Structure 1
Amino acid sequence: MPEIVFAERAGVGADGHPRPTEDHVVVLDNAVLLLDGATSSDPSLPPGGWYAERLARRLADDLRTTPEADLTDVLTTAIAVVTAENELRPQRSPSSTVAAVRWLDDRVDALVLADSPVIGFGGFGTDGVDVVSDDRLAGLRRRGMLQTGADVRRRRNAHDGFWVAEAVPGAAAHAVKRSWRRADVDAVLLASDGVSIGVDQYRLFDWGEALATTRADGPDAVLDAVRTAEKQDPDGERWPRPKRHDDQALVLVDFAACSRV
């Protein structure tokens, strides 16, 4: 069994006031889930954290029942069930990212839907690092195509937009997936965008350095580094962002831990 450690920290709302985290981490016997509920500006809708918690619970239940099932199929079913149980409608539903890692005797599987990446370390990828990321949302932001709430709704779960867990079960088919030979995997990180921003935008460290810090000082040390940078840029002048501090979640699944003991 790999060693698993994680840290979570609430951010602030778009109004700058504290509120509960909308990130959810679930650790199972052979899998880890990380979901990041999207903050909604529509008070008539349930919050993203409400949706992420329900979807995470359903995913966990299904993976406990069928631990070797195809991850796309499991996610498709979970979205459909949560949609039906709560009478959710496309474009009028809260949404969430999904990052999942599942290990079997011969392989490790990863699935990413929207912007919560999974990073594999071991005998594969470039320099032993394989970043499993869904860059469609970031690409739209860079091109200025998500300026308003209406822009986001129009491009959510659309072929000219981005894909996310919401009230469209078919979105699961657009997830980014990877499978590695288990013997090749040293460790895996799962991160919400409140952590990955430290790599992708702030350039505070790369993923190899994030792994080393997590192993040496715990995942909270990585969260601290991101928060420290944000406190030094409170108004978003250096790093424009919608919220001063986003929710943060970071999970390390360390397959090499036993060999280091």
Structure 2
Amino acid sequence: MTFAVKRGTAIGSGTENHDLALTGTDWALVLDGANPPAGADVGCSHGVGWIVERLGAHLSEGLHEGEAALAAVLREAIHATVADHGPGCDTTHPRSPGATAALARRAADHLEWLVLGDAAVLFEDTTGRVAVATDDRVHELPEPLEAAAGLEAFIAQYRNKPGGAWFAGAVPEAADHAFTGRQPVAELRRILLCTNGITRLTERYDYRAADLMTLATTNRGPAALIDAVRGAELTDPDPERWSGKRHDDATVVLVDLH
């Protein structure tokens, strides 16, 4: 059985959308590029958009082959992305561009999934219950980013390091720290793959995971989710209490398994 998918994406407050959604006959993925501050040294001339595009292309190739475990597919995609850089690029730089990722693939009668960074996969089972798989380590560091005494030292200590938060893009080892799992397809109705521009609905605006699934399965599909998050952001009485951009890039893929 092939995937039946609907997807949507919207740019945030920036000038480029650094999210990416890709789907195949039995797989789907979303990537969310992690943007460094404007003017920051990242060790090479390639921007976040280039990293996301190359990583997506290599992931697509690995998922199309459909044999290796998802963590191995991600590891090889990161390795190939690193190889795409020129000799003048320093991919060991702590700020080397990266991305969060959510992957799903049907393998016979099971659905395999992977999350790295705060992208998410939502699962609706045949009873209508909705569960969430995500990677919250970026929000669970020993000291919050805003309280870090020195930003560069903070990033060097916690980004793609044991005890820190892992991102795809420059460190193949990051794939070994992804969260993975598998579930019988017979127990599932559908799944959602979302970047954190969508899941801020649950993190900030009191939506439940089940609400996101309900919105995504209306006639408007993923567009209803994007409208909901933009509406919540625009009517937020105190948007300054949140860190980051007021409007993040927002991307979602809905997969109907039956």
- Please give the TM-score of this superposition, normalised by the length of structure 2: 0.88
One-letter code of the match for 2:19?
A: D
1: CA distance, partners of 2:10 / 2:183? 30
- Long gaps (5+) in structure 1: 14-18, 257-261
Q: Please give the secondary structure, in 1, of the residue aligned with 2:161.
A: coil
- Look up the match of 1:75: 74
8 Å Cα contact 1:11-1:245 kept in structure 2: yes
Aligned-pair distance for 1:123? 4.9
Aligned-pair distance for 1:153? 3.6
- Look up the match of 2:116: 113
Aligned-pair distance for 1:214? 1.1
- Tell me whether 1:85 sits opposite 2:88 in the alignment: no
2: CA distance, partners of 1:214 / 1:57? 26
Q: C-alpha deviations, 1:235-256, integer Å up to 9, x for none?
A: 624x413111000001100113
Structure-to-structure mapping, 1:120-159, within 5 angstroms? 120-123=123-126, 128-140=129-141, 143-145=143-145, 147=148, 149-150=151-152, 151-159=154-162
2: CA distance, partners of 1:227 / 1:89? 35
Aligned-pair distance for 1:201? 1.9
2: CA distance, partners of 1:128 / 1:178? 18
Instruction: Provide the identity percentage.
Output: 33
Aligned-pair distance for 1:234? 7.4
- Please give the TM-score of this superposition, normalised by the length of structure 1: 0.87
Structure 1's 88 and 118: CA in aligned 2 closer, same or farther, altered over 3 A? farther
Q: C-alpha deviations, 1:154-199, integer Å up to 9, x for none?
A: 3101112111113110110000011001111111001100000111
Q: Please give the secondary structure, in 1, of the residue aligned with 2:34.
A: coil
2: CA distance, partners of 1:234 / 1:68? 49
2: CA distance, partners of 1:67 / 1:26? 15
2: CA distance, partners of 1:213 / 1:244? 22
Q: Please give the secondary structure, in 2, of the residue aligned with 1:242.
A: coil
8 Å Cα contact 2:36-2:95 kept in structure 1: no
Structure 1's 111 and 189: CA in aligned 2 closer, same or farther, altered over 3 A? same
Q: Please give the secondary structure, in 2, of the residue aligned with 1:167.
A: coil
Q: Please give the secondary structure, in 2, of the residue aligned with 1:140.
A: coil
- Tell me whether 1:228 sits opposite 2:231 in the alignment: yes
Structure-to-structure mapping, 1:1-261, within 5 angstroms? 1-13=2-14, 19-41=15-37, 43=39, 44-45=41-42, 46-64=46-64, 66-86=65-85, 87-90=89-92, 91-123=94-126, 128-140=129-141, 143-145=143-145, 147=148, 149-150=151-152, 151-203=154-206, 205-216=207-218, 217-233=220-236, 236-237=239-240, 239-256=241-258
Structure 1's 234 and 128: CA in aligned 2 closer, same or farther, altered over 3 A? closer
- Long gaps (5+) in structure 2: none
2: CA distance, partners of 1:137 / 1:56? 22
1: CA distance, partners of 2:217 / 2:169? 34
8 Å Cα contact 1:36-1:49 kept in structure 2: no
2: CA distance, partners of 1:180 / 1:218? 24
State the superposition RMSD in angstroms: 2.0
Structure 1's 157 and 167: CA in aligned 2 closer, same or farther, altered over 3 A? same
- Look up the match of 1:16: none
Q: Please give the secondary structure, in 2, of the residue aligned with 1:96.
A: strand
Q: Please give the secondary structure, in 1, of the residue aligned with 2:111.
A: strand
Aligned length: 245
2: CA distance, partners of 1:20 / 1:149? 24
Q: C-alpha deviations, 1:104-139, integer Å up to 9, x for none?
A: 221001100001011111159xx7322111010022
Aligned-pair distance for 1:209? 1.5
Aligned-pair distance for 1:85? 2.0
Aligned-pair distance for 1:206? 1.2
Aligned-pair distance for 1:96? 0.4
One-letter code of the match for 2:137?
A: R
